[in-house]
Amino acid sequence: MHTPIFSLEVFPPKRDAPIGTIYDTLDGLEGLKPDFISVTYGHGTHADRTATARIANTIRKDYRIPTVAHLTALYADKAKIDEALDLFEDAQVGGVLALRGDHLPGCESEETGVFPHAADLIAYIRERKPDMKVFAACYPEGHVESGSLDEDVAHLKEKVDAGATHLMSQLFYDNADFYRFLDKTRAAGIDVPIEAGIMPVTSAKSVRAMAARNGTRVPKAVATMLDKWGDDLPSLRAAGIGFASQQIGNLLANDVQGIHLYTMNRPATARRIWRNVEPLFTR
């Protein structure tokens, strides 16, 4: 029997928020026992490209937790990627989550860079930093731009063939979608660990926006939750914690390899979920 991986995701504070607010998030996550914390990458032409490395360094040094730094390819040239990789190396990250990123609204006509797909960035990182572990993203319901799940899984295989050795999934609300996806990945010969991405429901507006943006299916139970408690935040959040805990319980009972919890920098929510599921992580 394998020990499931447990990882958390945090994001750098927004540009207008003091960088120190990340300490509130990290302090609040104390007591959870993640194998690593991943730090998202501010995407786009005006993003602060150093924040991810700085926060990853803080997590490793001050909180003694391994980190994974996200990195997006669109709008970057090789020099910018090299710069980020050097910063990640200095921060002693445990790995890089190599992503394509999204086209920014209003920037469609701008130069999007030299890595059209995540697989191109993965291959470049393997060449440039052969000792760096490379992670990649995957989509249990298929990526929103892809024609079909099978097509998307075929492109996922290209990312693994290019050198990704660990996959982290997009959020999903119906575990049946994840199990179907796992079957397809195994049939495609993908044999690296795949963590299930869990995002607790905390606001009706953000679930609806995210679902529309990512093509995430909202099952009846979640839709009912949003209708019933959409205007009653404490109740919605309590229901969201219950739903996410049950989702994780079912995934672990079905022997998935790992859980990647999107904390959304809301440590109280993450803590309450952890309290519910900690006994299920046999360590």
Identity of the residue, 97 or 204, whose beta carbon is nearer to ligand FAD in the bound complex: 97
- The tokens describing 176, both together, are 């049946």
| Residues found near ligand FAD in the complex (CB under 6 A) | 40-41, 43, 70, 72, 97, 99-102, 117-119, 137, 143, 145-146, 152, 155, 158-159, 168, 170, 197
- The tokens describing 143, both together, are 């990526």
Nearest to 38 by CA among 93, 102, 113: 93
Is there a contact between 205 and 177 (Cβ–Cβ < 8 Å)? Answer: no
Least gap, CB of 1 to ligand FAD (angstroms): 25
Quote helix, strand, coil % in the chain, to nearest 5. Answer: 45, 15, 40
Identity of the residue, 98 or 226, whose beta carbon is nearer to ligand FAD in the bound complex: 98
> 267 φ, ψ to 5°?
-65, -30
- The tokens describing 123, both together, are 């291959």
Least gap, CB of 28 to ligand FAD (angstroms): 20
Identity of the residue, 184 or 239, whose beta carbon is nearer to ligand FAD in the bound complex: 184
Identity of the residue, 170 or 175, whose beta carbon is nearer to ligand FAD in the bound complex: 170
CA angle, 74 then 75 then 76, to 5°: 90
Least gap, CB of 231 to ligand FAD (angstroms): 29
Least gap, CB of 137 to ligand FAD (angstroms): 3
Identity of the residue, 99 or 244, whose beta carbon is nearer to ligand FAD in the bound complex: 99
Least gap, CB of 112 to ligand FAD (angstroms): 12
Residue keyed to tokens 């599921």:
277
Residue keyed to tokens 């693994």:
160
